[in-house]
C-alpha cells in the first residue's frame, strides 16, 4: 500500500505518497475546522492502511461520475494512487455533502452496505464503518482548502453525520482499533487524484 505498484510500464503511486505530508501540513496550520483526527491519529491510520487490502483511488467526487440512462461513466484518471477499500466511497460521500448539503444518514449507511456487498461478492475485505469514518476525515482535511470552489458550499464539519463523529470519538477511538492477526489478503488493484485533493 505504501510502496508504488508498477505493471506493464505504468506506476501507481503509494497511498502515503504526498498524502501524509499534506495531512500534516493542513492539520498543523490550524486551518481545518473541527477535525476529528489529530496528527498522531492520522499517522496511525496511514500505518493501518499499509496492511489493508489494496485498491486504487482516483478523485471520486460527484463531478467525475457521468450518469447516462442506466449507465455510469467515470472520468478523470490523471492522478491515481493506491488506497484502501472505502477511501473512494468516503471521498464521494464527503464531496457530495459539501456540494449539496447534509446527506440522509440512512443513505450513507446504505451506500456502505451496498459497497461492501460488492466487495463480498468478489471475496474482498469489507470496509468497516470505523474505517469509513476515518477516511471521511482524511477527505475533510484534504478537501477543505477547496471550499467555495468546484461547487463546494458546505464545510464537512457542518454536514458530518453524527455516527461518523461517534465512531471516531467513542472511547477516544480516533486511532485504529488494536490489531489482531489476520491471514494476508491478496493484493488486488480495484477502483478506488489530485485535481482537487488527495
148-189 tens-digit pLDDT: 999 999 999 999 999 888 888 874 556 676 554 444 444 444
Q: Is residue 69 part of a domain?
A: yes
Question: Has residue 197 got a pLDDT over 60?
Answer: no
125-161 CB burial, b ≥16 within 10 A, e <16? bbbbbebbbbbbbbbbbbbbbbeeeeebeebbeebbb
Residue 170: alpha-carbon gap to chain centroid: 20
Q: Which of 18, 96, 5, 92 is nearest to 56 (CA)?
A: 5
Structural domain total, the chain: 1
Q: Are 124 and 188 in contact (CB under 8 A)?
A: yes
Phi first, then psi: what are they for 61, rounded to 5°? -95, 160
| H helix runs in the chain, sequence order | 19-29, 39-50, 87-100, 105-121, 129-143, 156-159, 162-169
* pLDDT > 70? residue 191: no
Q: Domain for residue 73, yes or no?
A: yes
Res. 75 pLDDT band, cuts 50 70 90: confident
Residue 190 lies in a domain: no
Does 164 reside within a domain?
A: yes
* Lowest mean pLDDT segment, chosen from 89-93, 102-106, 156-160, 181-185: 181-185
187 located within any domain: no
Supply the CATH number for residue 14's domain. Answer: 3.90.1200.10
CA distances from 75 to 62, 80, 92, 165 (A): 10, 12, 14, 31
Joined grid coordinates for residue 194? 489530485
Please tell me the least confidently modeled range out of 49-58, 125-134, 170-179: 170-179
Cell numbers found for residue 51: 496492511
Inform me whether the pLDDT recorded for 70 exceeds 50.
Answer: yes
In a domain, 182, yes or no: no
Within a domain: 114: yes
Residue 186 lies in a domain: no
Question: What pLDDT score was predicted for residue 132?
Answer: 94
Query: What's the average model confidence in pLDDT over 136-152?
Result: 96
C-alpha–C-alpha distance, residues 154 and 187, integer Å: 36
* Mean pLDDT computed over every residue of the chain: 85
- Name the residue with cell 503511486: 13
Domain hosting 104: range is: 5-172
What pLDDT does residue 175 have? 62
Amino acid at each position: 500500500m505504501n510502496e508504488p505498484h508498477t505493471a506493464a510500464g505504468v506506476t501507481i503511486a503509494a497511498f502515503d505518497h504526498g498524502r501524509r505530508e499534506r495531512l500534516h501540513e493542513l492539520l498543523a496550520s490550524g486551518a481545518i475546522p473541527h477535525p476529528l483526527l489529530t496528527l498522531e491519529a492520522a499517522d496511525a491510520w496511514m500505518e493501518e492502511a499499509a496492511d489493508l487490502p489494496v485498491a486504487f483511488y482516483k478523485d471520486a467526487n460527484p463531478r467525475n461520475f457521468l450518469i447516462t440512462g442506466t449507465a455510469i461513466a467515470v472520468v478523470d484518471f490523471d492522478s491515481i494512487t493506491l488506497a484502501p477499500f472505502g477511501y473512494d466511497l468516503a471521498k464521494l460521500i464527503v464531496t457530495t455533502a459539501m456540494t449539496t448539503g447534509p446527506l440522509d444518514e440512512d443513505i450513507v449507511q446504505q451506500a456502505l452496505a451496498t459497497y461492501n456487498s460488492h466487495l463480498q461478492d468478489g471475496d474482498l475485505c469489507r470496509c468497516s464503518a470505523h474505517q469509513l469514518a476515518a477516511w471521511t476525515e482524511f477527505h475533510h482535511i484534504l478537501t477543505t482548502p477547496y471550499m467555495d470552489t468546484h461547487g463546494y458550499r458546505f464545510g464537512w464539519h457542518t454536514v458530518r453525520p453524527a455516527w461518523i463523529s461517534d465512531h471516531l470519538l467513542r472511547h477516544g477511538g480516533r486511532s485504529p482499533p488494536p490489531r489482531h492477526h489476520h491471514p494476508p489478503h491478496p493484493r488486488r488493484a480495484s477502483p478506488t487524484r489530485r485535481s482537487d485533493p488527495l
